Amino acid sequence: MNMSGSGHTLSDVALDITVECMDERGIRHEIDTVLGYRSSDPFAVAMTFITSDGNLVWTFGRDLLIRGTESPSGDGDVHVSPTIGVSGRAMVSIELSSPDGHLVLLARAGDIHDFIARTSALVAPGTESDFFDADLLISQVLAS
């Protein structure tokens, strides 16, 4: 396992990236982020936002991230789609919605494709159930 993001995320695959977002005044911000993937949770990716107020983690389906690099995807709180940034660079838009607000992030498409390739080398898409331990999940739920 690799530790990334100054100890913020314990993952089999972790990639430090910077995402862009725009606030309600139209001012562009960059946010340091760690994309993480664990083979023990093969269906999910974690996006950890590194902030001065502490880390904020969003977890969503790896298949959503994969599909969203090719065409708009997602129902519910997370939507992912390919887009072009203001500089003309290929980007991936990741929209996050919660009762607390709505945030649209832009990540470099190359970073997202690199992350997906690294997770796919560990667990090929379509084989996630071979790595999923339902008994462990049940025991963890019952223990809490």
User: Over the stretch 74-121, which tens digit does the pLDDT of each residue have?
Assistant: 999 999 999 998 889 999 999 999 998 888 999 999 999 999 999 999
| Residue in 2, 23, 20 with CA at minimum distance from that of residue 11 | 2
The answer, yes or no, to whether residue 4 has pLDDT greater than 70, is no
Structure tokens at 50: 């590194």
Q: What is the CA radius of gyration of the chain?
A: 16
Amino acid of residue 76: G
Q: What is the pLDDT of residue 6?
A: 41
pLDDT above 50: residue 2: no
Of residues 40 and 111, more confidently modeled: 111
CB 37 within 8 A of CB 12: yes
